[in-house]
Amino acid sequence: MGTLDTLFAPDGVAVVGATESEGSVGRAVMENLLDGYDGIVVPVNPNADTVFDVPAVDSVTDAEGVELAVVVVPPTIVNTVLEECGESGIQDVAVITAGFGEAGSEGAQLESQMKAIAAEYDLNLVGPNCIGVINTPTGMNATFSPKFPIEGQISFMSQSGAFITAVLDWASDQDLGFKDVVSLGNKAVMDERDFVEYWGEDPDTDVVLGYLEDIERGQEFIETAQKVTSEGTPIVAVKSGRTEAGASAAASHTGAIAGSERAYEAGLQQAGVIRATGVQELFDYATILEGQPTPDTNEVAIVTNAGGPGVMSTDAIGDSQLEMADLNDDTVERLEDTMPDGANIYNPVDVLGDAPTDRFEDALEIVLDDPNVGSVIVVACPTAVLDFERLADAIVAASETTDVPIAASLMGGHSADAAEKILGEVGIPSYFDPARGINGLDALYEFAQLQERGYEPPTEFDVDRERARSILERTRERENNSLGVEAMDLLEAYGIPIPEGAIVDSPGEAVEAAESIDGDVVMKIVSPDILHKSDIGGVEVGVPNDEVADTYGDLISRARNYHPDAHIIGVQVQEMADLDAGTETIVGMNRDPQFGPLVMFGLGGIFVEVLEDATFRVAPVSESEATSMLDEIDSAPLLRGARGRDPVDEGDVIETIQRISQLVTDFPAIMELDINPLVATPEGVSAVDIRLTVDQEEL
């Protein structure tokens, strides 16, 4: 796939299916293109000589000077058109026509053919089932939506075409400018990753916005988005179908197979996508990311003329990752010298209700000088002595002398409109509700952190991959795809500590194994047909050496009683884990249809199973990602010495997460895996039990 320059800014556009017929899509697209596009427009229609006085050609192969074809013909003809495009060297195509993957098996078949043709000719194909493409610098509206946005630095992709029409209608009244807009449709060929990649390198795109219902190729998306974000272009997205209720609607909408919300949460976070919960947040974030620099610290100074709104702003800061700036002594002194008696010279700085513009100006200048202050919000209530427009001018002037981001809340109705326009022109957002401005500053800070985070490759541990493969291949010999404690050596092959022990198949061997282990032992039945060993009395803890032989017999007969035909591999004789000194954790993995291997961490027992206190990452997991998993769970204090326990060795837990990440990345055949428990102690970790499922076809 080449650059998308010719998709968004082609020298000429062919409209395949152009017509003057009232109410048709072909007519709307022609009208939109003829209205302002600075390139060539060629209508393709074998039944017309001209369309709106433009000479028509019979086939796209006859269209000259054209780099983009917009296709609006019926679905059964589309693939023929695409072949013609390929043959005649048109690489960029937007298929507006619907009736493909979203419309039953026949449509799905057409869409498969479409993919094959696109692959053959290396087409940059948008859609099908979309509203088209917009580019403001060339004035190109290659959609059937009548509204054309003003030019700006935001590029926007949406999986809902209707949402684009709504946003364009709304944005035209908001002074919100766009560069490229693309309707993703069914994403038969190009998807969100392609556009994120292109806009990441596009000097004219400052912010990438997305409305997404699902994400294709999750791991590749993460990689691309991470790169784009760390190189300075923020990506903000609403991922819709978030909640269970929403996901079912998404599935019936475009036939998208929605990944689980947990996977998206992890994946988007790792990708560095700033997630907006709704439409308002999406554009609030876009506005401030486009207009303001990123902050150096998370500390915010509030400058206000009113106590109440100062408190509200402080609340909003408390709800975010931001903090109230701790103004330094010099700042406080200067404020004391400059402000009248009664003013609050600590944060929130209250310049009092009788403050004219210049008092705001002075306070703003002083707090902007404070190195602790990462960002500033000016919150002003209307008073008899305050002129919002003059205040806006003062804020703009202050912003020109600083790299500290500024937001405003001029708390008025239309009386604030002119001032908001002045601020908007230099990229300073202003809303009635100060919480919106603070939310925006929070997004800026998040972006600053994402840029700082950069890209950290996962650690490559020295492991015995061949040994692991041979252990996984044991499943070939059985009907069942799951492995249990008999696969403990898989962990050993990947350098994860396991208790001393052995799997034996006679009482004598059991005694021998137990004697080689210090102290009492744990004995467990080993059978692929018995998943819940404890439930059938298949586990005995604290067995002294002289009872090992009898216990062996008991375990075998319990297993036989439970399941006469069970394939019994033997009995595991294992060193006792020092559970009292340790904390049970779980490290697990599930394979998500979109994002692939999703690694889980949490505390064992009730914590994951009842309280659902667990955290997820898409593998491969880097060291800092694994570290943050430990920070994220609510029960983390239990690992860190709460209630008089000794803190566990967190480093070993973090390393185990990474080693499991490496294992499941190396072997796509592992579909599910649970180490439960992984006992963590002050001295290290020990994986006491394992269960995993393998897809033999992937081996």
Interface residues for a second copy in 90-149 (CB under 8 A)? 144, 146-147
Contacts of 587 (CB under 8 A, 6+ apart): 599, 600, 601, 656, 657, 660, 674, 675, 678
Binder among 226, 229, 314, 331 for a second copy (CB under 8 A): 314
Long-range CB contact pairs, 511-515, < 8 A, 24+: 511/545, 511/548, 511/549, 513/573, 514/543, 514/545, 514/548, 514/573, 515/545
What residues between 242 and 261 interact with a second copy by CB under 8 A?
242-246, 248-250, 252-254
3-state helix, strand, coil in the chain (%, to 5): 40, 20, 35
Binder among 414, 466, 532, 580 for a second copy (CB under 8 A): 414
37 or 144: CB nearest a second copy: 144
Binder among 415, 470, 506, 516 for a second copy (CB under 8 A): 415
Helices and strands in the chain, H and E counts: 23, 30
Cα–Cα distance measured from residue 489 to residue 328, given in angstroms and rounded to the nearest whole number: 58
Tell me if 31 contacts a second copy by CB under 8 A. Answer: no
Stretch that binds a second copy, among 202-210, 460-468, 618-626, 636-644 (CB under 8 A): 636-644
Residue 475, Ramachandran bin (φ over 0: left; ψ between -120 and 50: alpha; else beta): alpha
Q: Helix 650-666 to helix 465-472 angle, to the nearest 10 degrees?
A: 70
Tell me if 397 contacts a second copy by CB under 8 A. Answer: no
Shortest distance (Å) from residue 248 CB to a second copy: 8
Tell me if 641 contacts a second copy by CB under 8 A. Answer: no
Stretch that binds a second copy, among 198-206, 239-247, 464-472, 506-514 (CB under 8 A): 239-247
What residues between 668 and 687 interact with a second copy by CB under 8 A?
none
Tell me if 172 contacts a second copy by CB under 8 A. Answer: yes
Beta bridge partners of 694: 670
Shortest distance (Å) from residue 357 CB to a second copy: 16
Provide the token pair at 528. Answer: 């692929």
Shortest distance (Å) from residue 111 CB to a second copy: 17
Cα–Cα distance measured from residue 697 to residue 699, given in angstroms and rounded to the nearest whole number: 6
Binder among 97, 160, 205, 615 for a second copy (CB under 8 A): 160
Distance of CA 489 to the CA centre of its chain: 35
Shortest distance (Å) from residue 125 CB to a second copy: 21
What residues between 428 and 447 interact with a second copy by CB under 8 A?
432-436
146 or 232: CB nearest a second copy: 146
Count of other CB atoms within 10 angstroms of residue 654: 21
What residues between 179 and 218 interact with a second copy by CB under 8 A?
211, 213
Cα–Cα distance measured from residue 361 to residue 343, given in angstroms and rounded to the nearest whole number: 14
What residues between 516 and 545 interact with a second copy by CB under 8 A?
none
Beta bridge partners of 275: 237
Amino acid in position 693: T
What residues between 356 and 385 interact with a second copy by CB under 8 A?
381-385
What residues between 278 and 307 interact with a second copy by CB under 8 A?
278-280, 305-307
107 or 570: CB nearest a second copy: 107
How far is CA 150 from each of CA 173, 355, 407, rounded to the nearest angstrom?
Answer: 10, 37, 23
What residues between 317 and 356 interact with a second copy by CB under 8 A?
317-319, 323-324, 344, 346, 348, 353
Binder among 259, 309, 440, 602 for a second copy (CB under 8 A): 309
Among 490, 474, 527, 488, residue whose Cα is nearest residue 505: 527
Tell me if 638 contacts a second copy by CB under 8 A. Answer: yes
Binder among 36, 112, 116, 170 for a second copy (CB under 8 A): 170
